Structure 1
Amino acid sequence: MTARGRLSATVPDLLRKRSFRRYWTGQSISLAGDQISQIALPLVAVLALHANAAQMGWLATAQLMPALLLSLPAGAWADSRAYRRRIMIVTDLARAVLIASVPLTYALGALTFTQLYAVALGIGALTVVFDVCNTVLFVSLIPAGRYIEGNALVNGSRAMSFVAGPSAGGLLVQLLTAPLALLADAVTYLASAYCLARISPVEPSAVPFAQGHFTAGLRWIFRSRVMRATFAASATVQFFNFIFHTLFVLYATTELGLSAGVLGLVLGAGAIGGLAGAALTGRLVRRIGIGPAVIVGFAAFPVPLLLVPLAGGPDTLVLGLLFLAEFGSCAGAMVVDITLGSLQTALIPHALRARVNGAYRTLTHGVRPLGALAGGALGTAVGLRPTLWVATAGAVLCLVWVLPSPVPRIRELPGPPPEPAPCAPSASASASASASPPSSG
């Protein structure tokens, strides 16, 4: 076999398919940009506008609040649209414009907290629309039996972005200042839009609005014991994790004395654990089953972060503890994202996919702004380190929900779910139908 042939044999089969490869490339570039923005935007507030704990809480809340307010209607709207890919392209372009406005106004000396809050709110809203459409596009590109492989590739890119993004973000902040570093994120949104424009998968048909359309996804979640348990566990870990992340940059730079560059390197080096988690998840699932692997991920995600408020003493010890915390937590996050994402993808009927995702985001991501607000309030009231202890210990409570549930007993991905019966038409839809002439068919 030639060297080229041996190299080709190592490429995952899904990446040999042009449509998925282009989709994956766009996702990978955009995820790297998101990580740059994740460190650069808070640093804009801290370094350029001298934010305090409360202002950091408001900034995080502005970006997260759309998940609470818009996910449910966005999912219902996306299920009724036939061209979700085009919607995703528009949201990418709009996010590029919003994020680029920050360095522009900074260069003009006009950057304010009001603009930062508005940009964060706009990006959060557009991200909600992008993500609910993305769940439908994903199943259009991947056969039903290969969800774990597809999720592993996408989340492997996410893990790589954890390695490259924060490191690049920290270095860009030091070289260009925090606002100008955000230009890199704007470019990644443009790249994502370009890659999406070059694929044309057959998407699931649009579902017409009918009575119960908006609440169908929510009702489906509460009827499923697996979805109820995983939703409660996800909501718990998300709430406490966002208390943690709202204050982590402030804690690391002020109390631990890390520079932007060192902080970026710590986060990037620690996220090597994410790559390890993404690489090992398939093997873990084959050995212990999909349900137990979900439990392992839920445990491994929050537990290592207990080392962060524990950090103290010599600089080498502090950096070592932060590295271990990031490594272990990112590994756990990859395991739970891949396994839980694949399990939920297999469980959800196509006709309800965007609505279930929208409802799930409302219930789980919706607690993020509450966590951010709680983080800002607690950080102001009791201090940064005590608040991080509350955040890290509280996140471990996610296991209380999934351990007694059916999840630990699930060994294989379930087969395709039955499609739900159509909802009864709404009054306006019935009137419209009765006014139309019968079809000749």
Structure 2
Amino acid sequence: MIHLKKIGLIVTLSSVLLLSACSGNGGGESKGETKGGKKTVVVSVMMKDRFLESAVQKFEEKHADIHIEMKEYKALPKTGEGGMSMESLSLADIEKYGQSVTTQVISGKGPDLMLMNELPQDKFVGKKLLVNLNDLLAKDNSFDRNALYANILKASQDGDGLYVIPLSYSLDLVRGNTELLKKANISVDQNKPWSWMQFKDVAKKLKQQGYEGFENLSPTDLLFDYIEDNYAQLVGQGKPGFDSELFRNMMKEIKLMYDEGLLNEGLSGFASTSSKGAFIMAGIYSPEDALTMASNLDYYQKPSANGKKNGLPFKFHYSLGMNSKSGVQPEAWAFIKFLLSDDMQASPNLTGLPMNKSVADQRFNEVLQKIKNGTLDTPIPKNMLPDMEKAKKRIEEVQKLISEADLRRSSDMKVLTIAMEEFNSFMSGQKSAEEVSKLIQNRVKTYINE
């Protein structure tokens, strides 16, 4: 899956393609049975994609008694090359989708399965709208839980319950131009956590030498990152904390970094040797992504608001939740298991890092072999690709990072949208931090209590 910035700034194309909704009305409703005695499992998706379409076809070939009905909220027009155009998808579309699915599920209706990436997971779990998949895992002797990354599964839980299961995920890191940092005589430890305040010191030194701290990082992107870093304090447990010095200081710090020219939104060819940017927000989205990163780049911890390491963060790409009111839970579970099988996890259409450990190792080795043979299809010039020794070392580094991933980063799309809308008036100088924080607080509180 190709990646864009988060929705209008926040949504990656990966998450967009994974959203859940129904054609025309948002969610779709489980029918339970169709003519011929088949059980129908309704799966809510924002847009169909190749991975899901192929999964449905293969699953139905193996399960003649189950029909998977994909309910699509918005079909994207095809481009001339046979791809899909993203121009017709708006923030309003995604918001309407979320509202529609949420309303249907709360009313006791809705689809059997939902791709949860842009749905309010906290609200769904709090209102007991999702099945605890740990119960199904425990009862099913045919499913090998050990085939999946245990640390990712554990970190995907809400309390002791697993209400959303990831099919694939990405690691939330930044890429740093190691060679540029050496030229600037600046040392940043790849393995140590650091704060945005520490980054400011680095950015000032870089600026003095004609370099930039981050490339292509907008104020809104940074705001979203701050909110996700402090989500428990700002949104958690239904008690918003935006009307606080914590959040006001966040906004002021962001504005100051842009006012002082320490950050900008420009992009000047990060992977190239002539690049002036030291860092870029780009984690590990797939085995191919990790091994085709230019040889002058390395992965670094992402700066945080407090500079403390609370865990190595990851984000869902595909993540599924099961409606607790579904009348076809065994059939829905069978489809989830199929999506986690070796066959589907090895699909070239699955984007993100596979949840299946053996498949992930296989994917890394396949990319490594293509690098060795010179057959890897990548826009990166071959002379900038890592050599075999560097590629093998990078695999080891990524596998270690995967084993350490233990902090699920998630947020409510509606909350981020509210924050973005009000924050822009602060950045433009139209409203004070105090005014904006109170407006966000009131709007988020209203939304949470709906």
- After TM superposition, the score normalised by the length of structure 2 is 0.26
Higher helix share: 1
Higher strand share: 2
Greater RCO (CA < 8 Å, at least 6 residues apart): 1
